[in-house]
Each structure stands twice: as C-alpha cells, then as structure tokens.
Chains A and B, each alone.
Chain A
Amino acid sequence: MKAVYSSIAVAAIAALGLVPGQAPGLRLLFGVIVPYAAIALFLVGVACRVIGWARVPVPFRIPVTCGQEKSLPWIKAASLDNPSTLLGVTGRMALEILLFRSLFRNTSSELRTGPRLLYGEEKLLWLGAIAFHWSFLVIFLRHLRFFLEPVPRLVLALQSLDGFFQVGTPELYITDVVILAALLYLLGRRLGTPRIRYFSLFTDYFALFLLIGLALSGVVMRYFVRVDLLSIKQFAMGLITFSPVIPAGIGAAFFVHLILLSALLAYFPFSKLVHMGGVFLSPTRNLSNNNRMSRHVNPWNYPVKLHTYEEWEAEFHDKIVAAGLPLDKE
C-alpha cells in the first residue's frame, strides 16, 4: 500500500506539471518561483543538515575495522580497510564514496536443513546502487550543456561517450537506460523481497518514484515527444543568470520534468537522501584506527564518580593484610 500511495503522490506532482499548459497565468509560478524555491530549499536545507551534523562533536574514535590493524612491523596491515593514517582514511573514504566498498562485501544467507547456514556472493544490490548513482552523476553533468555557454569540452566529451553506441536518432544515452533499469531493480527488490518490503517506509518508495518519474520524463522528452531544445536552453540560462524567461516553446513535458526535479530538490534535505552529505561524516569510516598511537580528545569529557584505590584499601584493609599484600597506608 505504501508503494501505491507514494506512486500516487508522485503522479500527482507530475500532474501539477500539466497545469501551466492549461492555465498560462501559472507559467511564472511553475517556471520560475517553484524552481527557485526548490533550489533554495535544497541548498539551504542540505547546508543546514551538514552543518548540523558537523557541529555535533565526535567524542570517541570508533572506526569499524575491516582488516588487520597496524601493529608489528612484520605483519602486513590492511591500510585501506583498517587505516592508521590520514592517507589510508582518505583511500578508505574514496573507495566507500566512489565504489561503495562496504556494499560490495554484501553476502546472501540461506539456512538449509542440517542445519547448514550458507553464505553467497550478493553483488546485485551493489551493482544496482552503483549503476544508479553513477548514471545520475553522468546525467547531471550532461545537463550542464543547458546551463553553460559555450558548452565545456568535457561535457561534450561525456555526452558523446554516453552516446557511444549511436543507436537511433537522437542517439541513445547508455545512462538513460542504466538509470531506469537500476531504479526499477531497486524498486523491484524493495517490493519483491518480503523482509525488505516489511521495513520499507512510504518515504522509501516516494524517493524511488520521484527519481523514476524524473528519469522517465527526461527520456520521454528526448526520445518520444518533440521539445524545443533551444527554448529549454534559453530557459535554463535565464534561471542560472537570475534573469528568468519562459520562452513560448516550453511545453507540458518539460514542465512535468521540471516539477519533478523541483520536488526532488525540495524534498532532499528532509529525507534519507541526505546520505549524500552524511556519508562523508560517518565516524566509523572516516577516522584512523590509531587510538593507541595518538590520543583522541573528547571535548565534553567530564569527571565522573569513582571508587578510588584509597577507598578500596580502606574498605578491604583487613583482607589485604591477611593476604599479605602491601598497603599504601599502614
């Protein structure tokens, strides 16, 4: 049901994108005010979240160690999975953020009769996740051609690389196919695995449907509905230079794409999607396992009530004497 509700919610948002076509008076609202508000919410919201986390102290150095510690010189340490230096931590974080190292470890489990617990490689989740995220990044970068004039060579190169297979006209972008396949896989997995469906929230489906809607509306515009790219570029340049214009050539398909993007941006800081910023700050990953080499300071370390040696000796005085152990106070 949560999946149904959230898909309805996303469909409703998409339908809003059809409004400006029907009520030209609202073009300003949907074409300028909503996008600006969404961008502002996104930037301010994400900044607030990240600053909010960063302001909270890290009282203890608690990396989760996933390899041999640095100890004796003749024992090879796992410098990335259990880093003891800043360089190692940087490497660990880079692997985590760029390649999803931890998710790559994922296993499946199965209980057979015997009992026999079996664990297998389970790379699909990793593949789905990395396919989605990297496609999203490439698509985002490709979109820079609408916002920059002249279009940077790097963006053009990325674009032609993405269209490498030159299938059809306009040529098919690999990332368009990959991102939709990955999102559908992630949705299918969420719905199709009983235990994952069990704990999935409305918001989990909502984020997925928003992204699917966004990708689909983009694909529709590129391959199925004729849109006026020149107008869109004019519109995008207007937005980014703070002199917004809504050329007549901007149609319903584009408004749907735009409203879904606005919804995603506005929703982002209030959702789990903030993991984009949070992943950098995770204390179990971004700290060296060098606790015994250099002291970590807790800014709010406070004195606690103790049972001191003197109190202990006083309490057990006779027994200490009887056991023939030395006393501090005779």
Chain B
Amino acid sequence: MAEQTPRPEQLVQISYRPPKQDWRDPSVEFRKGVFCYSAAPKNLRYLGLPNPREWQPFDNDWKLPPNWKQILIDGLKERLGKYRSFRLFMDICVRCGACADKCHFYLGSGDPKNMPVLRAELIRSVYRRYFTLTGRIFRGLAGARDLTEDVVKEWFYYFHQCTECRRCAVFCPYGIDTAEITMMGRELLNLLGCNINWVLEPAANCYRTGNHLGVQPHGFKDSIDFAVDELEEITGVRVEAPINRKGAEILFIVPSADYFGTPHYYTLLGYLMLFHEIGLDYTFSAFASEGGNFGLFNSHEMIKRLNAKIYSEARRLGVKWILGGECGHMWRVLHQYMSTMNGPADFLAEPVSPVTGTRFENARSARMVHIAEFTADLIQHGRLKFDPARNDRLTVTYHDSCNIARGMGLFEEPRFILRNVCRRFHDMPENTIREQTFCCGSGSGLGTDENLEMRLRGGLPRANAVQYVKEKHGVNMLTCMCAIDKATLPGLLEYWVPGVDVAGVHELVGNALVMRGEKERTTDLRGEPLPQPEVVHA
C-alpha cells in the first residue's frame, strides 16, 4: 500500500477544471487508494442486515438482490416521508454553488462530484425521476436521471467520500446539510447490503462487546489497570479507576480508542489524574465501554441500537448523571440524538458538579456533560493547580473537530482549558477553525488504510492550516477532542507537515496538573523529559 501512495508533491497536482464527461454519467473507477472495501458478510449477519455476501466494489457484479431497484425506490419513499430535512433538501437547492469549494474532498481531489451540490444531485436526480411530475415528464431537461446499477456504484463511491462534517451546511443559504444526504444515501445502500467494513466491523463489535474495538470485559479491565500502574510510575500517585461499580455518582463514558489507542491513551491518563485529584465518585462501565457510535455512519436505526446501552447502563448502575470524554461523532450522537432516541433520562438527576456545585443547565434534560465543560468549570472555580511550564516543550494549536463544532458549538471550553495548561497557544487561520473547521478527512468511518490516498487528499486543507501556524509560530502540537482525529491526524500530519504531533486536550491537562502527594515529575505523560526551567541570563 505504502509504495503506491503518491508523494505530497504529486498529490497536490490538483485540477479544478471539470471533465468533459457530463456529471449525469454515473461511471466511476474504483482505483486503489480512493475507496473502502466492502463489509464482511459475518458483520452483516451479526447485525441482521440485508444481503450479506462476498463482494468488492471493483467487482463487476455487486450481487445486488434481484428487486434492488424497487428496494431503493421504496427506501427513498420511506425516508422522504420520515425526514423533513431530506425531503426539503431534495426540493430547494438552487445550485448557487456556495458550498462547492467548502468541501475538503473537493479541495483535495478536484473531483466535481465532491462538490456538496453535486453529491446531493446524485440522489436528487433520481428523486426527480421517480417522485416529481416534472422529472417524470421532462427527464433530463428537469435534471432527472434513471436509477441504474451504475448509479448505485456511483452512490457507494461518493457517499463514502463525504465525512458528514457539515462544513458545507454552514455556508448554504438554506442550511442544506450534506451530512443528512450522505446519511440517507448510506441508509439506502445499506438496504442492498452495500456497506463498508470499516464501519460495519466496529458496529458489529460494538453491538456484541460494547465497544468498536471488540475489547472484552477482562481486556477493558487490563487496559485501565495498566493505565493506573503507569500513572503511578509517572506521578507517584496511585489513582482509583472503578469499573461497573454500582452506586457511583457519575458514569464516565469514553471512546474505546482512549483505552486502546495512541495518542488517545495519554488523554485517558489525563482524565484519571483529574478525577483522582478532585476525588470524583465515578465509575467506568465495561459494557457501555464505548461512547463513539459507528451507527451514525450506517443508519439511524443503528445509531439507536448502539447508543441504547449508555442510558440503560446508567440506570443499572444507579448513577446520578453521565460524563463523556473527548470524542467527535460520539458527541454528535449524545448531543443531538441520544435523548430523542433512547430518552427520556428522567431516572437520572440534573447534573451538578460535585466539586464546584455548578449546575450544568445546558444538560439538564439529557443529563450528560462534556468533559471539557466539566473541566473548564473546575478551572474557572480555581479548583485545579497547574504548572503550565511542564508543557513548555509544546507550542500548541487546537483543531475543532467537526461534530462538536457544527453539531454542538463547543469552541471556548477547550481553548480556555488549553490557555490554562500551556503557555504557547496559537489558533489556526479563522477560515479553518471553529464553525469553519476542516475535517481530518477520515471521519464517518473512512479512516481505513485502503482509502489512504483519498484521506490524504481530504486532509489537505486541515494539514495546510497546521503548516501555516507551524511556520508562523513554530507549532509542534495539534490538540483536538475527537478519537478519529487522534487516530488519523498523526499520519496525515506526518505526510503533509512533518514535525507536528497530535494530542488530546486532557493529555495537556494531565501534564500540567499538580497533584497532591505527587513525586517530582521528570517526564510528561508520554515519557518525554520535562523541559528544564529557563535560566535567566543577566
């Protein structure tokens, strides 16, 4: 794989000149490096999804069910009747093109069908053909297109070149949200069994074991115990990290990468230190051992199936409220879907910080608080002691992860925390942060190696903004609060901007946190020697 990946100077030869081929021609080429492999039939079977079979996108015959066309048209009809967003977005686009160059995949590939407007037209053209009067009569003239197997393949290709990041929706005068279109497109493909393994394997794992990585209870326990031991070595403090403990005040939910991936793991260390220092009465759950939700990249039904365990586990353990770790799409689900799908959470109490007494009014109904909200409140009340000089090795910037940016609006808390725990913080240019932030290029289940070239292309705008602050301010650490970011940005930056590392916000919190009873710290959480205090020369 690696030797096939083009070098940066090759990859950046991007032409934005549209091809001769009319866009209504659906043919696509499944070239290595720019698509994801199909889902293994065992995963479909485990989840009870339709049409499990062996196939690959580059095969000629996709082994679709014989009545595939009817399935799709019925599926389209069902969704047009269930989601106002979808129905409306099929009707009101004026093709002004404001969205066109807002997509990281368009910027990185120049492929016109990666313009959000055209991505949506891929479905809209079929909608017009079968559901509108003008489309039925005037066909091509009204922008309508027949549904063919090639269209199915085209949908598969382009709806897996959208990370549901919603950046285009910020600029759309009608708020047309390509994430909604892509979600529907994937749901429809799902009806034919055309899914990708990088989404369905984690989903199947999560359904069975409670987390995407398929970590079983003893593995979860080992992982957390290991972190506790390691923390003791670094800090000299032995922290508690209870699991499945009934009667705790707070249930703490993290994305599974936090306890099984790097650099996520250092963020986990940060949480553990923080909770010990404030004496938080909390518990992990080995069942609800995943906040992330790859259902979001498959179907609304799968979101609900995977998310249900969070409230049910909170009820079983008898906690008062739920705290959630750093993650992106996890929070899109927790914030915008969970309470609607699996609530009401009336068996929990309205969240109150046991340390500061702050009532988290903004979470009074869903009863789940984001760790950044929680920590920012602690810092604001002066309950934490920091030695930010311990992060002096780092010149830091912050990447707003798509989902907590555009599906929630969590902008100030992480920046407030970072400014308290490090001394050199610089934001990237304003067109690339906050609500205009660029996706890592690997979100929504596309972060797989066979798709590397497309990920590198999609990540170009993000990496390029990092390069800007690296050159201008010497930034060497990109912080973020998303598990997919932490998994994929290190590789992306190594490719485009070597010399910039990736960390979670709470890793830097852990580095700077002064704990009672700690030994003199000689390394940060990564085992890197702490910077020596600067000697002042007279």
Binding site for B on A (CB under 8 A): 5, 49, 52-54, 56-62, 64-78, 81-82, 84, 96, 100, 102-103, 105-109, 111, 115-117, 119, 125, 129, 193-204, 270-272, 274-275, 278-279, 281-285, 289-298, 300-301, 304-309, 312-313, 315-316, 319-320, 322-326, 328
Contact = CB atoms under 8 A, between A and B. Distances in A.
B411 interface: yes
A291 B408 CA distance: 9
Nearest to A121: B431
A57 B81 CA distance: 8
B241 to A, nearest CB: 12
A292 B362 contact: yes
A129 B98 CA distance: 11
B175 A284 contact: yes
A283 B84 contact: yes
Interface string B400-414: 000001111111110
Given A117-B460, A294-B365, 17 more contacts: A56-B81, A62-B180, A65-B409, A69-B410, A75-B413, A102-B98, A106-B98, A108-B101, A119-B432, A129-B173, A279-B174, A284-B177, A293-B362, A293-B366, A295-B365, A309-B309, A316-B217
B426 interface: no
Contact of B364 (A106, A125, A293, A305): A293
Interface of B: 8, 12, 14, 16-18, 23, 48, 80-85, 87-88, 91-98, 100-102, 107, 112, 115, 117-118, 121, 132-134, 140-143, 166, 169-177, 180, 207-210, 216-218, 220-222, 243-246, 286-287, 300-301, 304-305, 308-309, 312-313, 316, 335-337, 339-341, 343-344, 358, 360-368, 373, 376-377, 380, 405-413, 416, 429, 431-432, 434-436, 460-461, 464-465
B170 A64 contact: yes
A305 B366 contact: no
Contacts of A326: 244-246
Contacts of A308: 312
A243 to B, nearest CB: 33
Nearest to A273: B94
Contact of B435 (A67, A198, A298, A322): A67
Contact of A283 (B85, B118, B366, B410): B85
The DSSP consensus for interface residues of chain B is helix
26 contacts: A53-B88, A56-B80, A62-B180, A64-B166, A64-B406, A65-B408, A67-B435, A71-B373, A72-B380, A103-B96, A116-B464, A119-B432, A195-B16, A199-B121, A202-B142, A204-B95, A274-B92, A275-B174, A284-B169, A292-B365, A295-B366, A297-B340, A304-B301, A304-B304, A305-B48, A312-B287
Contact of B337 (A60, A202, A309): A60
B143 A66 contact: no
A311 to B, nearest CB: 9
Contacts of B309: 306-307, 309
B286 A325 contact: yes
A220 to B, nearest CB: 27
A195 B115 CA distance: 9
A69 B96 contact: no
Contacts of B336: 60-62, 291
B356 to A, nearest CB: 10
Contacts of A275: 91-94, 174
B88 A195 contact: no
Given A292-B339, A292-B364, A304-B301, A320 B217 contact: yes
Contacts of B83: 56-59
B308 A304 contact: yes
Nearest to B206: A307
Nearest to B98: A106
B290 to A, nearest CB: 12
A5 B218 CA distance: 69
B246 A84 contact: no
Contacts of B97: 125, 193, 195-196, 199
